[in-house]
Each structure stands twice: as C-alpha cells, then as structure tokens.
Structure 1
Amino acid sequence: MKQFLLLSLILGTLFTAHAQFPAGGFGGGAKKSTVTGRITATILDSLTKKPIDYATVSLVNAKDNKSVNGGVTDEKGKLTLQNISPDSYKLMIGFMGYKTKSVAVTTTPAKPDFNLGTIYISSTENTLADVQVQGTKAVIENKIDRMVYNAEADGTNAGGDATDVMRKVPMLSVDINGNVQLRGGAVRVLINGKPSGTMASSVSDALKMIPAEQIKSVEVITSPSAKYDAEGSGGIINIITKKSNAQGVSGSVNASAGTRQNNGAFNLTAKTGRLSLNTALGGNFAYAQNSRVVLINNTQLNAGGFNNVSQDGYSKWSRDGMNGSLGLDYDFNAYNNISSTVKFNRFSNGGPGAADYIINGLAAQNISDMDMTFNNMDWNVDYKKTSKKEGEEFSVSGQLSTGRTPTSFSNILISALNPGGVETFSNNTGKNNEYTAQTDYTYPFSKKTTLEVGAKGIFREIKSQFDNSAQDFDYNQNVGAAYGVISFDLTKKLKVKGGLRAEYTQIDFNTQTSGIQKNDYFNLFPSVVVSQSLKGNATLKLSYNRRVQRPSQSYLNPFRNESNQFNIMQGNPQLNPELSDNLEFGYSTYIKGSVINASVFYRRTAGVIESSISPVTESGISKTLTSYINVGTAQTYGFNIFGSYNPKPKWTLMSNFGLNTYEVSNNNTGLSTGTYVNYNLFARSAYGFGKGYNFELFGVVNSPRRTYQGKTDAMIFYGASFKKDVLNKKGSVGVNVLNPFSRDLHIQTVNNSITATGSVYQSQNIYYPLRSFGVNFSYSFGKLKFTEKKKIKNDDIKQDQQQGGGGMGGVQN
C-alpha cells in the first residue's frame, strides 16, 4: 500500500506540474501549438561545382528583416536549420571571397520542411561585410556551479576519443584503462545532462566509443545542486555533444589487442526524417594470468588460544563480457520527443586457484574454483516537451532494471589429517529489480532567473537465494524524492544557485535470525553555490551541499562468501546510510592559454561505512570474518590544484595534485584513528608532430590509503602511447604500453583489529599482473551522430569496492 501511495504521489506531482506550468509558462496561458520544421540546402561553387564548407548562412524574417536562425555548412557544403516556424524568410548565404546570395523561403504548417536543393554562389574580390562571424571560444570557462572545458576550441582533439578529451579536463585524472576520477573520488558521467545508456555497463569502455570530434564541451561539477541524486564525495562529469542533423547511416568500429586484454565495439546509427534508430554491440576478453596472494592471519581469542594461518598461492582468473543495445528516438515536432532504449550486459570472471597453507604449524593445500556472473537488462522510456520559450522543458522518464548475479565457489582442503581432502562449496544467486519514475520541469523567468522542480520515485527489490532456502534474504527499499532549485544573478558578476531536495526512504528486510525488520527515514538535502567574477578571467566560488549514500546489495547481502575459507566475507543488512556535508571554496583563472584551478574543501560524513575484520572460531580453527559496519564520523580537509601549460603550440603539459586528510571518530565506542594524509598525483605530456602523429606520456601516483583498521600501500603506474591518424582522419592506429619495467603491481594491505571476541593481525600482499603492450585501431564511417539516451540512473547507493574480486582469496585480472 505504501508503494502505491508513494507512486501516486509522484504521478500526482507530475500531472499537477504539467497543469500549472503549461508550455506558455507561468500565468500566461498556454501558447498555440505550432509544428516547426527544418530548412536544408547544399552550397556549391558556381564554377568548380565543389562544396563550400564553413559558408555562413543567416535566416531572416521577410517582414522585418530580423535574424531568426543561422549556421554554417559542413565539409560537403550541406546545411540544416532546425526549429523553423512556418513563415516567409530570406536565406542569406555568404563566404569570404564570394558574393552574398539571398534566397526566398516560405514554409507552412502543412509543409514545415523545405529542401532548397543545390545553391550556387559565385566568387568575388570583395570582402564579405554583411555576415557576422563569431570569435573562438576560450578553452576553459567558469560558470555558476561548474567548470567548462570547450573541447571544440581545442584543435588537438582531432582523431582522438572521449578518453583523450577527459585527460585534458581540469581536476580529472584518467588511468590507462580509461577509468576517470575527480579529486580522487568516483564520478557520475552524464551525456547532455542525462544518464546515458552507453554508460550503463562500463564508463571507461563507453568513453572509448565516443569520437572526440563529437564533443562540444565537458562540464565538471564538484558541487551538484539538489536536482541531482546524492552520490558521495566525487562529483559529476557532463559531456555535451555537438548537434548533428545528418541523415542516413553512420557508425564506428573499434578494436584493440594486447598482452592483457582485448576489446571490440561496433556502433551504428540510422536517421531518416524525425526518426533515429541506433544499435551497439561490444565485447572484451582478458587473458587469464596468475595473481599471487600472500596472506597471514594471526588471531588471539579472549576466551583463550592463539591461531596462526599463513597462505601463499595464486588465482588464475579470466574475465569476459559482452553488451548490446537497441534504441529509437522520434521527434513528433520541434516541441515533443519520445525515446526508448533497451540495453543488455553480461560479464563473467573467475577461475581456478591453489594455495599452500601453514595452519598452526601443520602444512595443508587448498584447491579452489570461483565463478561470478553478472547479467543485467535496462529498459527506458522517456518523453520530453519544450516550448518556444528558450530553456523551458518538461520531461517524464521511466526505467525498469533487472539484474542477476549467480556466484559459486568450491574448496578442497588437503592435509595430513585428511589426505583425501575435505570439500566445501556454496552457491548464491542475487536478484535486483528496480523500478523508477521521474519528472522534471525547468522554467526560465528571464535570462537571469531560472526555476527547476521535479519528483522521483525508486522502488528496489533485492533477493538473495542460498543453497538452503531457509537462508534466503529479502530486502525492499522505496525512495520518494522532490526538489526545487532556483538560480539568479545578484549583480553582473555575482551569481547564486540554491535548492532543496527532500527524500523519504522506506526499508523492510528479513534475515534468518531476526525476522522482518523496518527502517524508515526522512532527509533534507540543501545546496547553494555563490560565484564572483573577477578581473583577468578569474572566478571565486563558495558552495555547500549535503548528500547521502545508501549501501548496495553487496554490502547488505548476508551470504557467506567462503571462496577463501580462512577469510570469510559477509554483508551486513543492519547498515545505515552515510550522510555527508560538503563545503568548498575555489579559485580559477585563465592566462594566455595557461589554466590554474585551485580549491579547498571540508567534508563531514556521519555513519561512514567501512569493511571490518573480526576473529571467529569454527570447528576448532580460528578464521577471520570480513563484513561492513558504520564506523563513525569522518572529518576531511583537503585541497586540489590543477595546471595546464603549452610551452609550444603542439606541446601540452598538464598536472593535477590533490590532498585530503583521513580521520574517523566514534564517541560511543571511543574510536579515534588520529589524522592521516592521503594524496594523488597525475602528470601528462602530449606532443603532436603534425601529419596525424601524436605521442603521450603519463603517470599516476596514489598515496597509501587509510582505513580505521589499517592501511593499503601506495600505488604507482605509468604508460605511453603513440597514435597515427589514417584514412583521411576517419581512422587511427596506435600502440600503447603500461608499466613496461615491472610485470606486477605489488599492493600490501595491513589490518589490526581488536574486538569483543579477540584481536586480529592480517597482512595481505597481492602481486597483480599489470604490465601490458597493445595495439589499437578505430574507424568511423558516415557522418557520426551521438544519440542522447535520456536514461535514468540511480547512483545514490554506495558501491562495493571489492565486487568481483573474490575478497582476500585473490584479485581480478
């Protein structure tokens, strides 16, 4: 009943908003609906019959000679003007060295589209004076709540992909696999302000599929407004793509092969009139390589007894995956659009392993096998309505997501006491169904004041089925949310954007021992950003916001993962969400092509979720149990500085350095970790030799990472790539290398735990095979168009950092 009432509230808000805010705006009555169309033409040289690219075209009203639209032709001389209301116009065509030409155009409601066919213009020695040409944008811009990198203004992006673009964006760091971080934290990636279907399975793989030429700009939002779902300490990256009106068929093919991993992807878009269809298919395969794990567990039980277990072994895991999608997008007219996308993903990892054990002085050997599979399907339907008033938009979105994660493992422990071996095995299937309804409305009162309102409902059903049905775990979580955001200018240089998001969360779950339990709570999430423009292209910003992160299925699932039978892993359904308050002060400037961006921030997080190790005794053998708990409250101070410099036009140097403190305390338990410092460093040097040749070096340093029980050592990796544009810049070939001078990345983690049952000292050394050499090829055909997928993505839950990794028993290649 509560789910029905919550959904009714969302839908009621939806229809009320639509009734109160018609296309005409507030209190002004609805505007008369007008179907708009498009005007197309091809501009050629009258003598050579060759296309005129970058010819400037202006559409003026025949009655008052006021300009209503405009654009430039592409490399084939083609032009398309969208959203043209039925009327009489003059099309003014001009280009340097050519005579300006005027062509009469009349469209009607019955025939809103008009194809002018081929238009010839003749050369002249006179300079074009009556057509305005706009100047070049700055590479870096600062806005009220975000920093903008204008990729279209950076000529060095030609021939690359979105990963290459991300490496040039302030405050971002990208590793060799294309994983993006913002100030050391995880990020949410949007396409044109919406979660994109291409990002559903793998952000790093999706970025490699987007040509750099299709990216207009990249927005970095470190302090998202109340409009966005709360998502932790990272932030948001919003990729704005160029508007393309190409008809016909276009696509791309990408392939890479190496000593560590192979990838392939195919994308195809077919567009005719107002209908666009797109499909994609991709796959990846990682070679099975030995990952060595050396583990020591020393436990001291309060009840008496001391146990020592040491392990030296390997896991030889492979990883493969595939994904596919099918989508359609249809414009009823210039104001109404509907789209739908279905996307499937399947990933699998696991494999055999073996380890030698010393258990309290007695030798033993364990033979293991592990398999984890992830299957997921997302189906989205989206409707969007705009009006003649620029910036006004109303949208409704719905999403169905289903996921299945079957997991199985087996162990055979051979010892002098049991020479035939003792076998243990278990299976678990996790099921996650998610239903989402969302509506948003944006109304600009003026160019200086804009209001945004919306509502959202999320209904999650999580089930975990064990070998023994009596241990099944059911978890239901329903979230209802509503928000309001207003932005306005106090002065020409002082801008403000503030908002409030309200969320009600309803939770009920059952466990084997506790029966059905409930946990309902209500939260308010305010946000505000104040921006002051200074002289010399400099900007000051001050922001505050609150966010929440709810534990995901892997944190909650009480399934006992005994893939390493001496170090058991288990979720905790009693977890509470994290709540964070964030305060940031930033400064940005742009001086003669050089960029400096600096910020300091403070974050207070209550209910911090971390993994926790404790001793347990089973069958007379001491083991460790790794689970998750709400540790306490964290106080974090930090700063970030980014700089970019061009010693020469074709040479770019870039670096980002971030530092933050780690401190957790809990007054109830008396916990106080003290204060530690974490940092990360990214450096890059890129040089273009001309004729399509590009060379790049980069390195990443992540400092030791602290937790309340221990620390993980620093991680360093580096690489280089060389790329050449081919096939008239429609394709590229390249070679790359990662950590060439060391096969393994050695990572050590040490934990010390004192609990009510005893104490644990655990030392784990993982030797991860990271070195790789590879070649890659990409090719684009047709005129590429990246179709926006207005998918919902619920990213308000805290994700497990060890998913698919098998915990202490091994690592994933």
Structure 2
Amino acid sequence: MKAIAPRTKCTVLIVIMLVFCFVDNVVIAQQGNVTYTGKIIDKNSGQPVAYATVIIGDTATQQAIAGATTLEDGTFSIATNTGDHYIEVSFIGFEKLVLQPPVSQGRIVDLGAIEIAEDAQQLEEVVVEGEVSQTVFKLDKRVFNVGKDLSSTGASALEVLNNVPSVNVNIEGQISLRGSQGVQVLINGKPSILTSDENNALGTITADMIDRIEVITNPSAKYDAEGTSGIINIVIKKEEKRGFNGSVSVNTGAPNNHSLGVSLNRRTEKFNLFTQLGAGYRELPNEITVRNTDLNTGTTILSNGEEFRNETFYNFILGTDYYFSPTSVLTLSGNFALEIEDQPSATSFAALDSSGNLTSEWERTEVTDARNPKFQYELQYKKDFEDDEDHDLLFSALGNFFGKDQSSEFLDITLSGEDRNAEQTTRTDFKESVFTFKLDYTKPFSDEFSIETGAQYILNDVSNDFEVQNLEGGQFVTDPGLTNIFEFDQDVLGIYGTAAYEGKKWGIKAGMRLENTNLGTLLVNTDETNDQNYTNLFPSVHTSYKFSEKVSLQAGYSKRIYRPRLWDLNPFFNIRNNFNIRQGNPNLMPEFTDSYEMTGIFFIGKTSLNLGVYHRYTTDIIERISTFENNVNIRRPENIGTNNAWGMEFNTKYSPTNWLTFNVDFNYNTFAREGTFDDTIIDFSAEQWSSKLLTKIKLPWDIDFETTGNYQSAFQTVQGEIDDIAFLDFGVRKKIMKGKGVLNLSVRDAFASRIRENQIIQSDFEVFNRSFRARFVAFGFSYGFGKGEAMQFSGAKRM
C-alpha cells in the first residue's frame, strides 16, 4: 500500500442478475367498509406528488375522520367505515380537490390517477394552509421533516440530528441511536466522506440544505449491513418544479455563527439544473476540565481550559437531471466543500502531591491551522419500466475525497514549581478516498408479490502521515514513538435479494445479503500489518398485520455488522492534552449484532401511538478501555466480549387543538456486558433512558413557536459512569412578504445546561472529565422566489 491522492480508481464491477423486486417497504392492509387507493399526480408535468395529504371527511360534520400521506411515488391507501363521506386531496402550491366517492359494492376501490393542478394564486403568494407532519412513521423507518424544525435555524446537520426521535449527539459529535453507537450514517442513501467520524464534515451541511432525515432501526437486506444499531439517512434537498425557482437564506448568531445560502433550480422539459451555494464562519468553544488521580501514589494532575474550533467553510453543489423520456433520467452532480480551521486553545495544568499540596503549575497553549478540502461526485441512472410504476432499475457511481493538511504548535510554560517548559510541533497529512458503485432492480409480479435484487461495491483507501517533533537543544527532533504513516484499505462487496408478499391484512418481506470484506492496515515506518478477509450472510425478515383501521402490528429481524473504522484502528493521537490521550487499535475485529423488534401502532381519536420493544445481542463488542501510568490516561478501543440489550420505545403525536401539537419520544433499555480485558473479568448490568418532548404552538399573526426538551439519564460504563444531561431548545418563525419571506429565531441549550460529565473509577486510578459548550442563539431570514417557498422544498418526486 502507498499514500493516495484524489484519483480515479479503476474498477471493473460485473454484476449479472435475474431479478425482481419488492414494490414497497410498507405493507398497507386496510380493514373497514371500504378502502380507497390511488395515485396523486401533477396535472401539468404528469409527475407523482409525494407527501400530499388525502383525507376522508364526514359529510354531515365536515370533520376529517381518516387521513393519509402519499408515498414518494404518489400512491396512497386510506380506509373508512363511515357511510356518508367525501375525499379531499391537498398539497402546498396546488388547488384543493374534493371527490365524491364512486358507487361501489367492493371493499377496495381504486381511484386510479388523480390529477391536481397548480394554484396560480398560491404560487404567487405561497400561502401555507397546512404542513407535513414533522415525523412520519413508516413500516421500516421514521421520516423527520427538517423544514418543520424551527429550532434548527443556523444549525448544522449534527445539531439537527439531536432533535430527531431516538437519536442523540454528544458534545464531541458522536452519534448514538437508542442509546447505542455503531450507527451507519448515509447521505442520500449512500456512504459519504461527509459522514466520517473525525472530520466534522457534517458541520458543513446546514439545516437549510436538508430535506429530511430517515431513521431505520432494523434495516432490510437491501441496505448495507454496516451499523449495529441502525442507519440514519440524511436526504439533501433537490427541487424539481418546472420553471425557475430559488431561495436565499442568511443566518447570524452568537457565539459567532454566520452563514449565507443560495439554492437555485431551473426545470425544462428535458433538463433540471440545480445548485446550492453556502458559506459561513462559526466558532465552537468548549470548556474542558479533567482530573487524573493515581490512587497508588495519591498524586493528581488537574487541567482546565477552553478549546476553540473556529471554521470558515464553503459548500458548492451543482447537478443536472436529463430526461431521456418521462421514465428514464440521468443525473450528474458534484459537491465541493472546504473548511479552513483555526484551533487556538489554552489549558492550565496543576500537579498535586498525595497531601493535596501544589508541586507545579504550567500552561499549555496550542496554535493549529488546517485546510480540509472535500469532493463528492455522482453519476446516477434510473429507468422506470412501462408495465408497472414500481418496475425500475437504478445504477449509481459515487466518488468521495477528503483531505486534511494540518500543523500544530504546542508550548508549555512553567508558572511555578517543577520545570515543565517544553515545545512540540505536529504535522498531519491525511487523505481518504471512497468509491461506491450501486445497482438496484425492482420487479413486481402482481399486486401481492414482488422481489428485488442488487449489488453494492465500496472501496475505501486512506493514508495518514503523522509526525511529532520535540524541541531539544534548540532544534526540533522527530519523536519516533509518535511518528508513522498509517495506511488503511477496505473493500466491501455486497449482493442482496428480497421477496415480499402484500395481502389485504397481512404482509411479509424476507431477504438475504451476502457481503465480503477485504481489510488491510499498514504502519509504514515499522512495517506492521494486519490483513483480514471475511464473508458473512445477513438475513432479514419484516412482517405486519393490520387488525383494524386503528390497530396494526409490525415485527422485524436483521443481522448487522460494525466494521472498525479508521479512527478505531489508527494508533496515532492528538496530543492537545498530553495527559489524556486517545489511541486506535489496528487489531480490532468487527462487531456482529442480531436485532429484533416489534411495534404496535394505534390511532385513538386525534392521537397516534407507537409502542415498540426490541432486543439486540452483540458479539466482540468494542469498548474504549483506559489504562493509566504516571498520571497519563490512555483510552484505546478493545474487543471485550458480548452485550445483551433489551429495550422499549414509545412515540406519540397529539394535537388537542389545531394550534397546539405535542410530540413525545421515550426510550428505555437495559443491558448486560460479559467479557474480559487483560485477564480481568468485566461483567456488569446497567440501564439507561432518554426522552424528548416537542411542543409546537401556532400563534396569531402567522407566528409559529416550538420548544424541544431533551433528557438523557446517567448510565454505567465498563469502567465508570456518565452523568445525566438535560437541555432545552426553542425556535420562533414568522412569515412575511405574503409568505415569500421567513424570519427565524432559535436558541439551542437555552439554560446552558448541556454539560457532559463522566468518571472512570478503578481500583488504582480515577479520571473525571467535564465538557461544556455555551448557549447558541441564531437569527435567520430566508426568501423564496419563483414557484418555491422560502427554504421549504416540496412537490415532485425525488430520486
């Protein structure tokens, strides 16, 4: 292996398959006097309209008695047992359509294609009469519509994720799902450099760029098997309405957080040209306190300081769709992002003897500069066959590159006592390339039965050249123990097939995925290698049964894998605080998880309830283990044994009036760890829980107000405990200029209570760590022109 640069990796991927595929993940089996099905399409373009609202209303009271939202292909199914009723179809920017139900003796009535026309007056004034629900529950996933999250003004993707049900993001940016890490994060359904653990690239994706976030806790065999706790898919906006549309947004905040975004779209009969441009500057201060105590000697090292990560960032997306025909489209897109980082920090250190007496004091300052370019480009082709709207073929080729050119200077100055003067420099030259090739084919054989198949090939090449130099005798000398070139190469080939039966009340979908992983690591200077090659089967089964119009049950099973990532394997570390060091372990093995879950969905009046239970059994679980010597704490990931977790989850949405809505999310799980480390048995049981309450209020004068409260309980870790945390975000939105303009105000961590504290408690040492980031306040303005609404995209089908 050798160091890589951005380049095209020649790959021949030949996939020959006879296939046929699953029509829809969601089994819609309605029971009642009559079930209506159909498809909503745009009268002008003939394109399906996703997320349109279809309701059944009582003719006498004019009140809605049942409701549904169209899927991405525009289809819907809705049932009622009320005799005298009407059907109403509505969507932003379109005229409301009211249908009288046809006379039918059957229990299932196909309304066929229903055309809705653009509302010229609404398009001119963009008056919103209704909104898509913030969270939509589907058979295999939950969809969080980001445009409805008022507290996301000026926020990055990481901050938006923290408001998504079941998802938590800690201060360090680590993402967990249902209390567990090992989450696979995708962009538009595919792996991306922007989701890498350590480069903060999700910070370059702002809330204004995100259409929706999909949370998939138990993925089918169609999805990449990576991610033991599930998949989070971030879908970027792409407007496809005819004509010229666009929007512009400006955000400012404190601490310094300023951004400008522009989105433009031009759609003709054959072409759809879209672009997004963004630029900004933000400061991410972090106050950190650490206390290391050696219980054998009684000595303590205290450190207290403030770290900054100041970033100037630019983001540019450009793409085009070319329609060979109404059923055949080719998409070519590219994304360039650049971060320019400045990371000043100052940390005060104090050394105490066993009696608590101060023996020395010193200050360690850091000056770090970095440039992080990121490239992404994609070619995608989709073909819809004319025999069935769900018969399609999709091929995509995606390339990603991320680089980091970073230099740091560390200066230790003695303030009192023992001489601690020292000077160090570090240099990082990092390059990562990821190429993803994906082919999916779907074939329905009948209304009840379909199968699908496909393949995916992911190639990941990394080189990290890291050097530490110490000032000795007036010259900088390389430290060979901390300097090396680490190379990482991982290729994953996956092939899958699924089959589905969809009856009137019951449905089942089963599949199998085969993945081969070829992994190699190399420490160039010492010629240390670790090569692994393994092949695994990943089965999945999902089923649902609808007892009535108001009660249904869903269940699923899947096998998952967590492959150690670059920063789990890379043995080099940041020496910002040289008494608290994080290392990687190049000898890590992958985790494997068997995941089971069952969910009941209930509709009671205006309330929808979702109650689920789940179980996960994980082998070779990876935990970060601390070792301690000379008051230096070194954390390193290790495979320590198994984890057996049971949990329950509750979600509900309740609107007592048309101006007040509550969304509640609660998750509880208990887990048991069994394993050993260095001949020491590490067995323990613990529990944790988290909850979120979102309240949305519609005020007079076209003002919306929203609060989101978060609580995460304390929980035990392998070597200690992480304390509980509670914080509140809120946002206010006001539409102006006949709806074309939107003013937003958001406050994240309103009470400055998002403080993360954790302790490591062992027989011979203790480590206490506290980190805190300040309250963030942001104000934004966005303006939409053409046929679009200010930074709220909707309408045509998204690829």
Q: 1:138 and 1:381, CA in 2 relative to 1: closer, same or farther beyond 3 A?
A: closer
2:530 to 517, 522, 525: 517
1:697 to 680, 689, 707: 707
Q: 1:435 and 1:53, CA in 2 relative to 1: closer, same or farther beyond 3 A?
A: closer
3-state SS of 1:555 partner = helix
Whole-angstrom CA distance in 2 between matches of 1:296 and 1:174: 24
Q: Residue in 2 aligned with 1:74?
A: 118
Whole-angstrom CA distance in 1 between matches of 2:221 and 2:740: 41
- 1:403-453 per-residue CA deviation (whole Å, 9 max, x = no partner) reads 112343333223367769211222222211122222111111112112111
Q: Residue in 1 aligned with 2:331?
A: 339
Whole-angstrom CA distance in 2 between matches of 1:261 and 1:764: 27
Letter in 2 for 1:508: G
2:275 to 262, 275, 279: 279
Alignment of 1:504 with 2:516, yes or no, is yes
Letter in 2 for 1:378: Q
Q: 1:155 and 1:648, CA in 2 relative to 1: closer, same or farther beyond 3 A?
A: farther
Letter in 2 for 1:527: S
Letter in 2 for 1:225: S
Alignment of 1:764 with 2:769, yes or no, is yes
Contact conserved, 1:316 with 1:353, CA < 8 A, in 2?
A: no
Letter in 1 for 2:576: S
Q: After the TM superposition, which of the residue ranges 589-598 and 338-347 deviates more from structure 2?
A: 338-347
Whole-angstrom CA distance in 2 between matches of 1:295 and 1:479: 40
Structural mapping, 1:234-313, within 5 Å:
234-236=230-232, 244-287=240-283, 289=285, 291-299=286-294, 307-313=299-305
Whole-angstrom CA distance in 2 between matches of 1:708 and 1:329: 51
2:585 to 572, 585, 591: 572
Q: Residue in 1 aligned with 2:216?
A: 221
- 1:552-581 per-residue CA deviation (whole Å, 9 max, x = no partner) reads 222221223211112222211111111111
Letter in 2 for 1:399: L
Alignment of 1:628 with 2:637, yes or no, is yes
Structural mapping, 1:13-32, within 5 Å:
13=15, 16-17=16-17, 20=18
- 1:737-789 per-residue CA deviation (whole Å, 9 max, x = no partner) reads 334444x64322111356xxxx43111222x2322333221111112367999
Alignment of 1:354 with 2:350, yes or no, is no
Letter in 2 for 1:465: D
Q: After the TM superposition, which of the residue ranges 417-426 and 427-436 deviates more from structure 2?
A: 417-426
What's the offset of the Cα at 1:663? Answer: 2.6
Q: 1:562 and 1:182, CA in 2 relative to 1: closer, same or farther beyond 3 A?
A: closer
3-state SS of 1:12 partner = coil
Contact conserved, 1:254 with 1:779, CA < 8 A, in 2?
A: no
Q: 1:670 and 1:510, CA in 2 relative to 1: closer, same or farther beyond 3 A?
A: same
Contact conserved, 2:20 with 2:452, CA < 8 A, in 1?
A: no
Could you tell me which runs of 5 or more consecutive residues in structure 2 were left unpaired when the two chains were aligned: 2-8, 24-41, 47-92, 100-109, 124-130, 468-477
3-state SS of 1:409 partner = strand
Contact conserved, 2:508 with 2:541, CA < 8 A, in 1?
A: yes
Contact conserved, 2:530 with 2:587, CA < 8 A, in 1?
A: no
What's the offset of the Cα at 1:479? Answer: 1.0
- 1:156-207 per-residue CA deviation (whole Å, 9 max, x = no partner) reads 99x9999999999876789999999754567667788667999898668757
Q: 1:663 and 1:406, CA in 2 relative to 1: closer, same or farther beyond 3 A?
A: farther
What's the offset of the Cα at 1:641? Answer: 0.7
What's the offset of the Cα at 1:592? Answer: 1.8
Q: 1:322 and 1:673, CA in 2 relative to 1: closer, same or farther beyond 3 A?
A: farther
Q: 1:306 and 1:148, CA in 2 relative to 1: closer, same or farther beyond 3 A?
A: closer
Alignment of 1:438 with 2:425, yes or no, is no
Identity rate, percent: 24
Structural mapping, 1:69-468, within 5 Å:
69-76=113-120, 144-146=139-141, 183-184=178-179, 206=205, 208-209=207-208, 220-229=215-224, 230-236=226-232, 244-287=240-283, 289=285, 291-299=286-294, 307-347=299-339, 348=341, 350-358=343-351, 360=353, 361-371=358-368, 373-388=371-386, 389-415=388-414, 421-467=421-467
Whole-angstrom CA distance in 1 between matches of 2:349 and 2:487: 38
State the Cα RMSD in Å: 4.4
3-state SS of 1:209 partner = helix
Q: After the TM superposition, which of the residue ranges 670-679 and 385-394 deviates more from structure 2?
A: 670-679
Q: 1:295 and 1:453, CA in 2 relative to 1: closer, same or farther beyond 3 A?
A: same
Q: 1:745 and 1:535, CA in 2 relative to 1: closer, same or farther beyond 3 A?
A: closer
Q: Residue in 1 aligned with 2:81?
A: none
Q: Residue in 2 aligned with 1:54?
A: 95
3-state SS of 1:232 partner = coil
What's the offset of the Cα at 1:155? Answer: 14
Contact conserved, 1:189 with 1:239, CA < 8 A, in 2?
A: no
2:504 to 488, 492, 495: 492
What's the offset of the Cα at 1:680? Answer: 0.6
Whole-angstrom CA distance in 2 between matches of 1:528 and 1:363: 62
Structural mapping, 1:726-741, within 5 Å:
726-741=736-751
3-state SS of 2:585 partner = coil
Whole-angstrom CA distance in 2 between matches of 1:322 and 1:150: 25
Contact conserved, 1:195 with 1:789, CA < 8 A, in 2?
A: no
Contact conserved, 1:546 with 1:582, CA < 8 A, in 2?
A: yes
Whole-angstrom CA distance in 2 between matches of 1:567 and 1:74: 60
Q: Residue in 1 aligned with 2:52?
A: none
Alignment of 1:671 with 2:670, yes or no, is no
Q: 1:557 and 1:242, CA in 2 relative to 1: closer, same or farther beyond 3 A?
A: closer
Alignment of 1:560 with 2:573, yes or no, is yes
3-state SS of 2:567 partner = helix
Whole-angstrom CA distance in 2 between matches of 1:408 and 1:155: 38
Q: Residue in 1 aligned with 2:548?
A: 535
What's the offset of the Cα at 1:527? Answer: 0.6
Letter in 1 for 2:393: F
3-state SS of 2:568 partner = helix
Q: 1:626 and 1:667, CA in 2 relative to 1: closer, same or farther beyond 3 A?
A: closer
Q: How many residues align?
A: 677
What's the offset of the Cα at 1:543? Answer: 1.0
Letter in 2 for 1:344: F
2:783 to 779, 782, 787: 779
Contact conserved, 2:154 with 2:778, CA < 8 A, in 1?
A: no
Letter in 1 for 2:507: K
Q: Residue in 2 aligned with 1:29?
A: none
3-state SS of 2:221 partner = coil
Letter in 2 for 1:311: S
Tell which structure's C-alpha radius of gyration is larger: 1
Letter in 1 for 2:457: G
- 1:273-315 per-residue CA deviation (whole Å, 9 max, x = no partner) reads 21112221213322364x43222212367xxx66532223333
1:526 to 539, 564, 582: 539
Letter in 2 for 1:74: E
The TM-score normalised by the length of structure 2 is 0.75
Higher RCO (C-alpha under 8 Å, 6+ residues apart): 2
Q: Residue in 1 aligned with 2:28?
A: none
Q: 1:631 and 1:319, CA in 2 relative to 1: closer, same or farther beyond 3 A?
A: farther
Letter in 2 for 1:770: A
Q: Residue in 2 aligned with 1:586?
A: 599
Q: Residue in 2 aligned with 1:130?
A: none
What's the offset of the Cα at 1:699? Answer: 0.9
Q: 1:752 and 1:514, CA in 2 relative to 1: closer, same or farther beyond 3 A?
A: farther
Whole-angstrom CA distance in 2 between matches of 1:688 and 1:162: 25
Whole-angstrom CA distance in 1 between matches of 2:338 and 2:489: 24
Contact conserved, 2:241 with 2:787, CA < 8 A, in 1?
A: no
Contact conserved, 2:719 with 2:761, CA < 8 A, in 1?
A: yes
- 1:9-38 per-residue CA deviation (whole Å, 9 max, x = no partner) reads 97321xx23xx5699x9xxxxxxxxxxx99
3-state SS of 2:380 partner = strand
The TM-score normalised by the length of structure 1 is 0.73
